[in-house]
Amino acid sequence: FIKVMKCATESLGPMFRKFGYDRNLTYVLPVEDRIWIGWPFPFNKYDYRPSRKPYNILIEHSIYNQSMLQQLMPRDTIYISSIRHPLSRLKSSFNYFNTPKQCNLTNKTDPVNEYLNNVQNIPQYFCTGLVKTWRRFCPPVKFSQMHNEMAHSLGMPLGFPLGRKDITENLEAVKDYIRGLGENFHLIMIVEYFHESLILLKRLMCWSFKDLFYVSRNVGYYSYKHSKVNTKNTEFFEKWNEIDYLLYNHFNKTLWTNIQQQ
């Protein structure tokens, strides 16, 4: 299960953990006390704990790496992930990482529009070092939670880390990569259609309804959650995160095609 941050992964994660626990499966676990496996960098063998048994299940935050996972996991591995509408994800990430405070935004009721109005003048790569209670994650240079992060989590080469191939300006290559994800992933869930996605998951995994029990976790409640982003900023954000929109639209369509074929 490839976790894409702020895409209901903390609600889905325990479901997969219980699935593995009930079947005595062997997990790929991060080293030391980390909660991610290499993320936001592509992971390598030094990022996870060695095991005497073959691995069966990977759940913790990691960047999708097809060749690495094919070496690590069994040949019959099921690949699953979840994504959400990019603007909804922006707000969730915005709240989780306390972006208004990090960026010294002054509009408390509508910080998203203020941010998008001034995004060219706001550092995209800031270290969360203000107040310890707000400290979530100190991002490395050239990494942004706000810019095509879903595509990055699913392994698309977008120039991070420095020196990595960058297909950002090649939309045909981007679309080819997205089509490749569709061939390699058995299910990419859509957060806006969470329960429909769960039914597809149940059928894919031959689960019972009992296996689908979950508790909503890390659900943010904040004043601007349902605030409207103005037309100008929406158009800007759609262009700025064009790759994530292509990704979302492709797999949203795929989800409903899958549902119609059931």
Bridge partner residues of 188 (DSSP): 81
What confidence tier does 129 reach under pLDDT thresholds 50, 70, 90? very low
- Give mean pLDDT, residues 199-210: 96
Residue 154 in contact with residue 81, Cβ under 8 Å?
yes
Give the SS3 label for residue 79.
Answer: coil
Span 9-260: which CATH code?
Answer: 3.40.50
What confidence tier does 139 reach under pLDDT thresholds 50, 70, 90? low
- Give mean pLDDT, residues 72-98: 93
- Give mean pLDDT, residues 114-132: 67
Q: From residue 253, how far is each of 1, 5, 243 by CA, in Å?
A: 21, 21, 16
What confidence tier does 125 reach under pLDDT thresholds 50, 70, 90? low
Look at the alpha carbons of 28, 32, 33, 35 in this order and tell me if their dihedral is positive or negative: negative
Supply the mean pLDDT for the chain. 90
Q: Roughly what angle, to the nearest 10 degrees, separates helices 242-260 and 171-184?
A: 40
Residue 214 in contact with residue 14, Cβ under 8 Å?
yes
Query: Which residues in 84-117 are b (16+ Cβ under 10 Å) and which e?
Result: bbbbbbbbbbbbbbbbbebbebeeeebbbbbbbb
